[in-house]
Chains A and B, each alone.
Chain A
Amino acid sequence: MKKYILIFTVSLFTLITSCGKENLDLNPFDSVGADVALNTPSDFESAVNGLYRQMIFGSYGASMMSFPDVLTDNLIFVVTGRQTQKTTFEWLYNANNTQQGFMSQSYTVIQQANFILENIDRIPDGAQKNNIIAQAKAARGLAHFMVNNVFAKIPTQSGDANGSLGIPIMTSSDIRQKPARNTVGEVYTAVINDLEDAKSLISASNGKERFNLNAINGLLSRVYLYNGQNQAAADAANAVTTTVSTFSNFAGVWTDANNDGVIFELKNFDTDTNVSVGVPYSQTLTGGIKSEYAVSFELYNLYQNTDIRKSTYVVTSSFEGNLYNHVAKYLSSSVNTGSGVVDIKVIRAAEVQLNKAEALANMPGNDVAALAALDLVRSQRYIAFTGGETGQALKDAIQLERRLELAFEGHRFFDLKRRGLAIDRTNNGDFADGTGTPPNFLVLPAGDTRFQLPIPKTEIDVNSNMVQNPGY
């Protein structure tokens, strides 16, 4: 009897001793290892989709569609709002309170694009592979471009810009790098190389929900314009075949009822990404729209009554007894009716025409062509308009139209910055009639160091090769 118990005991002990080992190699259920993640062409397609998803959540999503306008004269801080982005509006940002999320999220796109490019030879050569390379490079180039324009100078901004501190150009997915800053000139060269490579490799059949040939050309027209390469900008714009959205379609573009004139947009469904692009501007409550930022009195008055954009971009309604001009661009969706979230328009045909007009007007003797490009936009926005400008008047008209057309899409700050201009707000208040509380800070003088936002303190702390911008 005892013997059996002893045998039983010993075998029990042996059993448990031998069964332990293989049970220690456990893998997660909801994700896969790096070696499994990217092997087949469809894996790579998914990884490219991951780039778009990441662009919605981080670099583009809510922040890029609002803070470059908050910085400028397009908007007025509403004192009854939730006080979000107040330091941005008042140019009181510092290293502890800067666009850190935007920076890290943009570089997350770059890191992932690099990971795709490093492993791309796992799939056979051909059109599909080229199209994946093209999208990864375009995403990397666009992200570098945006980060640079926020934290460093833009080439046309000042004479010293190209040699000044740019941002680190990242071409490896190694997460343990501590890169130093490249110059602005080097960053722009890298951006243009990426976009030009993308242009030569991109598939002709890509839809508007991903980088496509028109999008690459359109973005190139913007980059060349920012880089002072006017002819290249005009050429790139000429290669874009998408036409400007029509007057009748225009309102529907902003509720995603149609995407006329949109070249590239990040699709935003409430079933998957569900990013509220409009929240930095306002929330809709029972008592009406509660704005964080309203349309500035100055900008509102620049919209003529015959301008379709006036009713599309602005809604005038009261909140707690006061009348405001709220930003209406991201208020509702005909697709995501519940959440109201809308697609993010990365580039539109109207901007491309305005890029072209500006580039041509910058080169003597091209006013006619420039005016023609400008009128392609104006003819679809006004019931009637007086045109025919030349010279400086034409240049002013182009800039005015650019401000009106691209308001609240993250352009105004860069359009002032790249031309070396000041940000100059009027002393009007936050109410629709210009009364109310005016901004505490009215002018950011041209050449001020605050046009280059501070590098986040976290980055300075962890990256010994990083240097801070002057003035912080």
Chain B
Amino acid sequence: MKLKLTWLITLFMAFVMQLSFAQEKSVTGTVTAATDGLPLPGVNVIVKGTTRGVQTDFDGNYTIKASVGETLVFSFIGMKNTSVVVAANNTINISMQEDIESLAEIVVVGFSTKSRDELTSAVSNVTSEDLEKIAPSVSIDNMLQGVASGVQVTAQNGKPGQTAFIRVRGIGSINAGNQPLYIVDGAQVNEDDVNGINPNDVESVSVLKDAASTSIYGARGGNGVVLITTKRGKKGQDGVFKLTSRVGRSRKTEDNFTMMNAAQKLQYERELGQGIGAGISSNAEYLRLVGLDHDWKDDLLQDGLQKSIGFSASGGEERMNYFFSLGYDEDSGIIQDIDAYNRVSGRLNVDYQIKDWAKIGSSLSFSSIENGDPRDRNNVQNPFRAIYDYNPYETKFVLDANGDQVLDANGNPIYNATHSGYPVSAELNQNITTRYYNRFLGNLYLDLKLTDNIKFLTQGSGIYEQYRRENFLQPGSVLDLIVNGGVPTGSKTDNGSFDFTYTWLNKITYTNTFGDVHNLELTALSEYVRDNFRSYSARGQGFVVGGPSVLDVAATPIAVAGTRSEYSLFSLAANVDYNYDNRYIINATVRRDGSSRFGTNSKYGNFYSGSIAWNITNEEFMANNKTFSTLKLRASAGTSGNDQIGRYSSITTYGFGAYNNGLTTISPANFGDPNLGWEQNFNYGVGLEFGLFNNRLRGLVDYYNRTTSDLLLNEQLSLTTGGNAVTGNLGEMVNKGLEFELAGDIIRNEKLKWTVSANLNLYDNEVTKLVNVDDPNTVGVNESDLFTTSNFFSILRVGEEVNTFYLTRYAGVNPANGEALYLDADGNVTNNANGNEVALSGKSPFADLDGSVSTTVQYSGFDLSANFYYKVGNYIYNLPESNMLSDGDNIADNQRLDAFNYWRNPGDTNVLPRPFSNSNQTSDRFLQKGDYIRLRSLQLGYTLPSRFTETMALKSARIYVSGTNLWTYAPYYKGDPEVGIGSGETQGASVVPGEFALYSYPTTSSISLGVDIQF
């Protein structure tokens, strides 16, 4: 029927066009908005079926050539498209109606999109416009900090291109991973893949926070879901080119403490009677050393250079729309001699209405990243440790007696090994590691309209990540000579991996409206995910000094290795949405998931949720109310899961090795539990959203309660059975919280708009259960303590916050003899810290509250936005401080200036312990409160007036200057308070974010200048 109609129209159109071809004339008119009658500038006026099109001017006027019988289509964002057939009259004035649906904020939830009004769940949404005002970052997840309530974002570290730790509504898991599920254009991606996405391509980021919205993701939604939607072209919009470019400088944030200078360090050494300072025999020698004073930061670090260039083209015709983009990002990072990061990215998103009832489309992107930063480890190869450890009187290069540089055989200066025995500059210049990531992310879909009410979508998505790492230890380099007994050898390691994940989604949706007020949407879907991972590693040694570095050149092959693993997930889900007159909205979801990661007996899990919302302002009794423009209550409850554990954790396996030159060996590889199953999240919450005075003041309050049961934990077993750790469903934990958002337009008129907004999140976490059964044979033993291998200074204990610090309590210095005092487990004072650890209630690496305050001012062309992020109530173990105030133990390393404040005479109080009194033991002496507030971003922009841009044939142009982390206030913690990873290679894969600091890549502050042009 419809098909026939289309044929008739086409025939008719062809007929009309032939007839009217000769009668072209000029049509003029004014376009106004129906609501206020004011002219609308920038409206697209297109002659349907042609490429002829113009835009209305500042006063809403237009002139276009058209023939009688042709159709003019008027389109403008936020307005309904209007079509008029050209008749005899040469003037066509149009009054455009507001398109209510498109004006409302569209939020992507699960497998559908909704307007804010229709939502029954807690979702935070960030649009591309919001993102433009935020401190720029190459990784989109870092930009979410402080932007979405209930979503705690901590930079993993300051490394260029590094992703962030994101915690949605508290700590949901302990060992099974706490990162939310990332979905890009409908396909699951790994956390690292987010780094491959150009933030300029992102249209919106939705964070699904409660069970109502996450249970449609079933087994993987337990930690919340981050939905990233990339930009797509708009139908009927002429192509728009956009050029963005930005250049900036970055620098390590200033320390809030002072290190000793040369004179001070020498004095300290002399006082303690150890080191160079203690052995100085002449004044000349002293003066020479003092004269060498310098800050190692200047020798090892630099001001980083950040560049970003992006180009995009987007638009569409009636049946087709497109978005195309290319991007290049570069961040040299702050280590001298190393280029830390660059990324090339590209994207093409296309949708094509091939039939009235069929649409196809794709989102295709690639990115290629090159990383040159050094390994993150706590040793003499780490420049971020060296800047503090190296003494200010030690020089970068070896000097002779006259103070001149000593040269090697090739005439190059020789790096000074310093007291550490290994010059970190040699590491940076001669032991070079480069990592490459090539990623292809894409999906293809076919969307069929089977009847007016039933739609079917099938979508295939694939992510291919190719990773390659090359490490070349140059022959003859300092480290090379160390590991090869003084013989220049050189070694090269090539390793990498191939990871391919595909998802096949099929979805049927039925929508209908009955009696004008009953809106029903039913969805059923199936999803199959499969991942294939392969890795390899090859190493060879024996290279020519100054020669090439490919493995082929290696004289001796040393090692080869390769691994392979798989993962699969199969799911069926259904969703019901019922909306009565936009007043009462009910949503229910059920999902069944099967995962290959779990034991044979427990592969499948069922998840469900229900939620309800009441739009009070849509009630008749509110019709006359002038105060509330929005008032909405919602409530939800449901379950979701977590499967982020090792792929084969549930299986006991035996692995292979070699002994005695190639004899095969078999030994245990993993001890598994066949009943290993899902980690379950039960989540309920209520929320209130409000808008007052025409939404001039708006906000929301949310309460949630989230119980994670069957926690996937690694249980440390007795050393007498080999000291293995076995993954099991071992505990339960509750997260409760309150979220507040408030935003107000303090001034809102044509010229000036000033908005202030703030959010506050209160977190409460408690471990409620750890092992299934208390052992009746061991009366009095606290079996609720669970020790896992990933904990350094903290434990899990029932009744406490997760990862509560477990340390000996420091009790100051004994004024009589200067020894450090501690409390033993019973609270008695002792001078021995051994084995006296207690759980420090209320002190954990997790904050009690965090949030942000931001403000935006727009005045004519200027815009100013500032965003402050604050965090309160977390504790950090400050390991660098234990090295810098080491009570003499680390006297070979430079010390903090306040190390001078040590016990000297009986009766001294408020001092550090007496040097060399074996005082520098692990205790809460180095546990510090991590509270801080930081000016996360500050941006001043200026949009050029249209009279300038018009003369330059531009649609718009904006220049801005932007700063990140420009100011920080941290009253307790000595160092940068934003601690994520302490030390990458010390902690391995299972990091408790913020548990301790240990010389990971530091946080940087930056200033950049950018230009955005559209034409």
Contacts and interface: CB of A to CB of B under 8 A. Distances in A.
Contacts of B785: 461
Given A30-B564, A37-B666, A179 B718 contact: yes
Interface size on B, as a range, is 35 or more
A301 interface: no
A175 B659 contact: no
A108 B528 contact: no
Nearest to B566: A26
A31 B658 contact: no
A174 B652 CA distance: 12
A13 B787 contact: no
A367 to B, nearest CB: 42
Interface stretch (B247-255, B319-327, B567-575): B567-575
B652 A267 contact: no
A462 B594 contact: no
A110 B668 CA distance: 12
Interface string B773-785: 0010010010101
Contacts of A463: 718-720
B482 A286 contact: yes
Contacts of A340: 485
Interface string A96-111: 1000100110011011
A285 interface: yes
Interface size on A, as a range, is 35 or more
B691 to A, nearest CB: 42
Interface string B82-117: 000000000000000000000000000000000000
Nearest to A28: B648
Contacts of A94: 834-835
Interface in A437-462: 456-459, 461-462
Nearest to B570: A20
Contacts of A271: 559, 658, 661-662
A19 interface: yes
A204 interface: no
A251 B366 CA distance: 61
Contacts of B546: none
B666 A43 contact: yes
Given A30-B655, A47-B667, A459 B719 contact: yes
Interface stretch (B73-81, B237-245, B263-271, B722-730): B722-730
B596 interface: yes
B229 interface: no
A392 interface: no
B444 interface: no
A94 B822 CA distance: 16
Contact of B596 (A16, A24, A43, A107): A24
Contacts of B778: 464-465
A33 B652 contact: yes
Nearest to A172: B721
B653 A177 contact: no
Contacts, number: 235
Interface stretch (A4-12, A121-129, A371-379): A4-12
Given A179-B718, A285-B481, A338-B541, A26 B596 contact: yes
B657 A50 contact: yes
B570 A23 contact: yes
A168 B718 CA distance: 11
Given A17-B572, A459-B719, A175 B724 contact: yes
Nearest to A47: B666
A466 B922 CA distance: 24
B719 A95 contact: no
Given A5-B448, A50-B665, A175-B724, A458 B834 contact: no
A40 B214 CA distance: 49
A104 to B, nearest CB: 3
Contact of B563 (A30, A95, A173): A30
A177 B787 contact: no
A108 B481 CA distance: 36
B671 A175 contact: yes
B661 A269 contact: yes
Contacts of A176: 717, 721
Given A104-B722, A267-B659, A286-B486, A29 B667 contact: no
A53 B659 contact: yes
B666 A46 contact: yes
B918 A92 contact: yes
A16 B504 contact: yes
Contacts of B450: 2, 5-6, 9
Contacts of A32: 653-654
Contact of B448 (A9, A24, A37, A178): A9
A229 interface: no
Contacts of A21: 570, 594
B483 to A, nearest CB: 9
A279 to B, nearest CB: 11
A46 B652 contact: no
A112 interface: yes
Q: Is the interface of A mostly helix, strand, loop or mixed?
A: mixed
Contacts of B3: 1
A177 B720 contact: yes
Nearest to A94: B834
Contacts of A458: 716, 719, 723, 787
Q: Which of A34, A269, A462 is most buried by chain B, counting CB atoms within 10 A of its CB?
A: A462
Interface in A325-378: 338, 340
B654 A267 contact: no
A209 B656 contact: no
Nearest to A179: B720
Contacts of B448: 5, 9
Contacts of B456: 5, 9
Contact of A272 (B482, B564, B654, B658): B658
A38 interface: yes
Contact of A34 (B504, B654, B922): B654
Interface string A48-59: 011111101000
Contacts of B541: 338
Interface in A185-225: 209
Interface in B358-391: none
A386 interface: no
Interface in B617-676: 647-648, 651-671
B603 A464 contact: no
A238 interface: no
B565 interface: yes
A111 B654 contact: no
B530 interface: yes
Given A34-B652, A38-B666, A107-B720, A285 B596 contact: no
Contacts of B484: 338
A31 B664 CA distance: 13
A185 B716 CA distance: 29
Contact of A20 (B451, B558, B594, B665): B594
Given A5-B450, A33-B652, A461-B787, A49 B663 contact: yes
B416 interface: no
In the A-B complex, list the 4 residue pairs whose CB atoms are closest, starting with the nearest. A20-B570, A104-B723, A37-B654, A272-B658
Interface of B: 3, 421, 448, 450-451, 456, 458, 478, 481-482, 484-486, 489, 504, 506, 508, 526, 528, 530, 541, 556, 558-559, 563-570, 572, 594-596, 600, 603, 647-648, 651-671, 716-724, 726, 775, 778, 781, 783, 785, 787, 834-835, 918, 922
Given A31-B670, A107-B719, A472-B835, 5 more contacts: A46-B664, A53-B665, A173-B721, A175-B671, A267-B659
Interface of A: 1-2, 5-6, 9, 12-13, 16-17, 19-21, 23-34, 36-38, 43, 46-47, 49-54, 56, 82, 92, 94-96, 100, 103-104, 107-108, 110-112, 115, 167-168, 170, 173-179, 209, 267, 269, 271-273, 283-286, 290, 338, 340, 456-459, 461-466, 472
18 contacts: A5-B450, A16-B504, A16-B528, A21-B570, A23-B568, A23-B596, A30-B656, A30-B669, A34-B654, A36-B654, A37-B666, A92-B918, A174-B721, A271-B662, A272-B658, A284-B482, A338-B558, A464-B783
